[in-house]
Structure 1
Amino acid sequence: MRVMRFLIAGLILLSTSCGLILQNSAAKNFKDPVTKTNEYKSLNRFQQDFIYLKTVCDKYFPLADKYFPKVERIALEKVIIEKLDQTDLTDIEFRLYLKSYLSNFNNQHTWISLKGVSITGIYPFIPYNQDSSWYILNTSTNIDRSFIGQKITSFNDTPTQKYEKQLFSLVSSENEISKRKAILNWWYRPTLHEFLNGHKIDSVKLVFENNSTLTIPKITSGQLTWHLSEKDFKQHPITKPKDRIYDYQIIDSIGVTYLQLHECYDKIEIKEGIKSYVKPWLRPIANLYVNIQTSKKKPSERIKKYYDPDRPIFSQYISQMIKESNEKGIKKMILDLRSNNGGSEIICLQLLYHLTDREDLKDFELYIQNGDFYKHYFKNEYKEKADLYFKKHGEFPPKDTLFYAGYNNSNEKLFDRITDPKSPYYVTKDRPIFKGKIIVLGDFSTHSAGALFTTLIQDNKVASVIGTDVSNNPTGPTTWTPFRLPNTNIEVSISSQYLVRPDKLKTNKFIPDIYMEKSYPDILNGKDPLFDKALEILNED
């Protein structure tokens, strides 16, 4: 009985504090031996962390010289080392110097976190971007409302298309539209402009297409009142984002099944992810924590981001959606991958397996670096791929080289891991299959696994895509692989894999079948031209 009381008390403590324990100490953290070198030891703490970061990038980022040429890297490294020699360097300045370095890889998974940094002050205007142009979305009430909706042509006497390139130097994005969306909240932040220009900027000057000008002073304190509030921006009755990681509607009035997929996670994927990203000795604690949280009707906020207690298993939820659609005779589906934050590609394959009975679908080709970094995080996957290489070539891949490792999610056929009864992702062969026509909506807010899934669908001609470029290019370095800098303990990540899209006749950039994005009137009035276009196409037959 006494043992049971201690056990119950321990579980209660675990359920409240384990999330913090796991956050602070459970994640795997690669350690490179550069810390033992004399060069490293001779530097200050900020310089040491930068040398550590640049060493990991040099050694383990796939095809680093292709994406950030060595001559350019070395030149920028010298500049940053000198900048980091300042005795009064702030934490935000240090991180921005590192962001300016990592941005040159043009890769969304190669970034440094700004978590915990306080960025104060604001120029009270909010921009929005459409195509390659910038407009005013909102301003504080002390600014004339007539500026809202006007096109900005210059920022502090620099053409906007030239000035945006300076802001691009601080973001980790893979194409121009993703870079523009990444800097949306940066135009009004004095800290960033002051860092780029090297001096304080008390106000900014905007010039508009009609030659009018607006000077906006920096505000560092007080409550701001805006012309437009959240309630002024109407929501589309169907496509407004649901507060769910995935959600479907069957809209009988128009004969359409509509699915929003915001996160590629479920209970199974959370537990599988522990194997890759959590230290081995802490995995039992992590699994216990997940089991406790997923047994609750209201799990912790940390788990809630990736898990819905009302629909815990994604494949079961999708099976229910397809079965209900088929029973109702629905022949049209809109798959909305906008605002998808990524996650597991296997989750996406479970969905795809319910959308087609084809067995000829092609996967991404996978290349991985034969080095300590990848092995540290993905030990089992590495061993499997290295053994396949040995079986084919009679030797293991050369050390510290990028080698062909077969397919990204499969050994031979795309659905290998879905159809294997021993797999945690197993879906039975007699699953319900949607028999109608499908349109995918995807854009700059479609990230990582969601972006790759969009490519997979398009390249295999399962569906047409309406939208813009997605944030993860279909061919190139990918996969979030986090570690911490030795002195500041700041979280950073680099890509550790290289993927080649299934359709090699297409470019390394994603091009939707129909290019379209929302305008300012659309945003304000709750219109969704992408959804409307999808309906138009679905109704053509």
Structure 2
Amino acid sequence: MKKLSILMLFLLLVSCSNQSNHLNVKELKEDLNYLNEKLNEIHPDIEKIEYVSKKVDEYRSSLTEEVSENYFKVKIMEILAILEDSHTGVLIDEKTTKLPIQLLNLDSEIIIISSSSQVAKKGDKVLQISGKNINVVINELRKYISYDNEAWFQHQINFLTLDFLLESLGLLEQNKIILTVERDGEIIEYEIGFDKIEKDKEGPPYNWEIKMQNSIKIGYFKLVDSIYNQHYESTIDQFFDSVDKNNIESILIDLRFNSGGDSRVINSFLKHLNVDSYRLYNDSSVRQHNGDYSKDIYILTDSGTFSSGAMFATIMKDNGLGKIIGGPVGQNPTHFGDPLLIELPNSNIKIAISQTKFIRPATKDEKNTLLIDMPISKTAEELLNEEDRQLERALDSIVNQN
């Protein structure tokens, strides 16, 4: 079972001209017909797809004149958001530009966590965008974002840095916005425009170490990207060999930065456990493993834990194999995913459409949430200082459980 992370696709941001081409009525209607055809063909949520199809038809019938590609793109985002499916939505293309800042949504405060701008500073608390209260802007943003739980919506705050969305929200003034921020206790205002976007440097997809916390050894495995290959298999083997040699009694799997990928990474981990019975997604059969490890496992999560990363956490929780520590994941345990990619014929807008419903292993799922066993928060201050105190608090909590 493989999964393609829509988050990785949503963040393909390459700076280019933000000028938008126009599409005539015939082209628009052809694209909408194609979209409706593919939604009905691919997406498994028949009831919601029927409603969304009606919305597509209504929009098609209302078209009387040409519109810009950006306007059309945002309109499709609004329609697809009705599905409440984080894996179905419009992909950000190479023509999109963004503000040279990175935002953080933490405890209802929007903070600039990094900046390559001359005027915006790391730590600025955003109060207004072009004169509009930031909370109002966030509420207006909701109707364009595909999400199935609140944690994922909060994680998507950087959609507010994209040129075409800021334009659609009526916040652009001469291709710039005006930010009102609080900095060092003072309220200041500045203009900021769009810059080239440098691709982030990629770190290793996974790594591990034996951590010493208050004289207690803890096996720590950080899985950033769910990449399944022989190297991953051998890395997992090396990790558990070290866990065995060091007589480790607690393991911490860090999934906070895991936005998905190949779910087979989960099976490679499970085979090392000594477990009488467990279930996987969409599988009623009971499995077992006679691996060497049978002691405590903790899974560290937050809103960035998505797709197969969230599935990993859910499988561990639902089968009683580990405790969830940290914050809420960015996806409901039972969800739609495994998206297929389509491209509209005239606008060339790329769209991901879920083709599978993934049902969590738990037999009872009244609220469709992944409950946190040991909540551990993070603060803006420590993130601004690039300190991972959440991890330190997690390790301390594990030590206190022993």
Pairwise TM-score range, normalised by the shorter structure:
0.7 to 0.9
Q: Secondary structure at the match of 2:59?
A: helix
Select the residue among 201, 213, 218 that pairs with 1:256.
218
> Partner of 2:169 in structure 1?
196
1:491 aligns to 2:364 (yes or no): no
Trace 1:11-160 onto structure 2 (pairs within 5 A).
Answer: 44-66=26-48, 70=51, 74-75=54-55, 77-79=57-59, 82=62, 86-87=65-66, 89-90=68-69, 92-119=70-97, 122=99, 126-138=102-114, 143=119, 149=123, 151-160=125-134
Task: Indicate if the aligned counterparts of 2:120 and 2:192 stay in contact, CA closer than 8 A.
Answer: no
Question: Are 1:215 and 2:189 an aligned pair?
Answer: yes
Deviation string for 1:228-268 (max 9, x for gaps)?
Answer: xx9xxxxxxxxxx982222211235641211111222223x
1:500 is the counterpart of 2:351: no
Mapped partners of 1:263, 1:205: distance in 2: 34
2:59 is matched by which residue type in structure 1?
V
Report if aligned partners of 2:258, 2:305 keep a CA contact under 8 Å in 1: yes
SS of residue in 1 equivalent to 2:160: coil
What are the superposed Cα offsets for residues 183-219 of structure 1, whole Å, 9 maximum, x if unpaired?
32x3344432212339756433536599964433243
Query: How far 1:53 moved relative to its partner?
Result: 1.3
- Opposite residue 87 of structure 1, the aligned amino acid is E
Is 1:536 matched with 2:399?
no
Q: TM-score, normalised by structure 1?
A: 0.61
Q: By how many angstroms is 1:526 displaced?
A: 3.0
Runs of 4+ in 1 over 6 A off after TM superposition: 221-224
* Structure 1 residue 440, shift from structure 2 partner: 0.8
Q: Label 1:63 to 1:187 Cα distance change in 2 as closer, same or farther (>3 A).
A: closer
Q: 1:247 to 1:65 in 2, by over 3 A?
A: same
> Which has more helix, going by share of residues?
1
Structure 1 residue 532: Cα displacement? 2.0
Separation in 1, partners of 2:114, 2:262: 36
Instruction: Establish whether residue 466 from structure 1 lines up as the match of residue 325 from structure 2.
Output: yes
Q: CA deviation at 1:474?
A: 0.5
Q: Residue 250 of structure 1 aligns to which amino acid in structure 2?
A: I
Q: Which of 184, 187, 199 is equivalent to 2:160? A: 187
> By how many angstroms is 1:324 displaced?
1.8
Contact 1:359/1:413 (8 A) holds in 2: no
Post-superposition CA distance 1:482-522 (Å, at most 9, x none)? 23334445432211222332221452123322333422211
Distance in 2 of aligned mates of 1:207 and 1:49: 41
The answer to whether the 8 Å contact 2:119/2:192 transfers is: no
Determine the structure 2 residue equivalent to 1:167: 141
- Give the C-alpha shift of residue 111 in structure 1: 1.7
Structure 1: distance between partners of 2:228 and 2:101: 38
Q: Distance in 2 between matches of 1:190 and 1:486?
A: 23
- Out of 478, 493, 512, the position equivalent to 2:372 is 512
Q: TM-score normalized by structure 2?
A: 0.79
Higher strand proportion (structure 1 or 2): 2
Per-residue deviation at 1:134? 1.6
Letter in 1 for 2:137: Y
Deviation string 1:463-486 (CA, Å, 9 cap, x unpaired) is 111222222210132222223334
1:469 aligned partner, one-letter code: P
Instruction: Name which of structure 1's ranges 167-176 and 192-201 shifts more when overlaid on structure 2.
Output: 192-201
How far did 1:125 drift? Answer: 5.2
Choose which of 274, 281, 285 in structure 2 pairs with 1:412.
Answer: 285
Task: Tell me which residue corresponds to 1:527.
Answer: 387
Structure 2 equivalent of residue 307 of structure 1: none
Q: CA deviation at 1:441?
A: 0.8
| Amino acid paired to 1:522 | E
Query: In the TM superposition, what is the alpha-carbon distance from 1:358 to its structure 2 partner?
Result: 1.7
Residue ranges of structure 2 left out of the alignment (5+ in a row): 1-23
Q: Quote the Cα distance in structure 2 between the aligned partners of 1:110 and 1:467.
A: 27
Counterpart amino acid of 1:127?
Answer: L
Structure 1 residues 209 and 86, CA gap change in structure 2 (3 angstroms)? farther
User: Does the 8 A contact of 1:447 with 1:472 survive in 2?
Assistant: yes
Q: Report % sequence identity.
A: 21
| Contact 2:123 2:183 (8 Å CA) reproduced | no
Shift of the alpha carbon at 1:139?
5.7
Instruction: State the alpha-carbon separation in 2 of the partners of residues 166 and 482 from structure 1.
Output: 27
Q: 1:248 to 1:110 in 2, by over 3 A?
A: same
Structure 2 contact 88–354 (Cα < 8 Å) conserved: yes
Aligned equivalents of 1:261 and 1:192: distance in 2? 32
**Is the Cα contact below 8 Å between 1:336 and 1:441 reproduced in 2?**
yes
Q: Kindly provide the CA deviation profile for residues 251-296 of structure 1, in whole angstroms up to 9, marking residues without a partner as x.
A: 35641211111222223xxxxxxxxxxxxxxxxxxxxxxxxxxxxx
Listed as ranges, the gaps of 5+ residues in structure 1 are 1-41, 225-229, 231-240, 268-311, 367-406, 416-428
Cα distance change of structure 1 residues 435 and 222 upon mapping to structure 2, 3 Å threshold: closer
Letter paired with 2:166: H
Shift of 1:88: 5.5
Q: Distance in 1 between matches of 2:196 and 2:366?
A: 52
Could you tell me whether the CA contact under 8 Å between 1:466 and 1:530 is conserved in 2? no
1:177 to 140, 151, 154: 151
Structure 1 pair 59–527 and aligned structure 2 pair: CA distance change class (3 A): same
Distance in 1 of aligned mates of 2:373 and 2:102: 31
Q: Over alpha carbons, which structure has the higher Rg?
A: 1
How far, CA to CA, are the matches of 2:335 and 2:274 in structure 1?
29
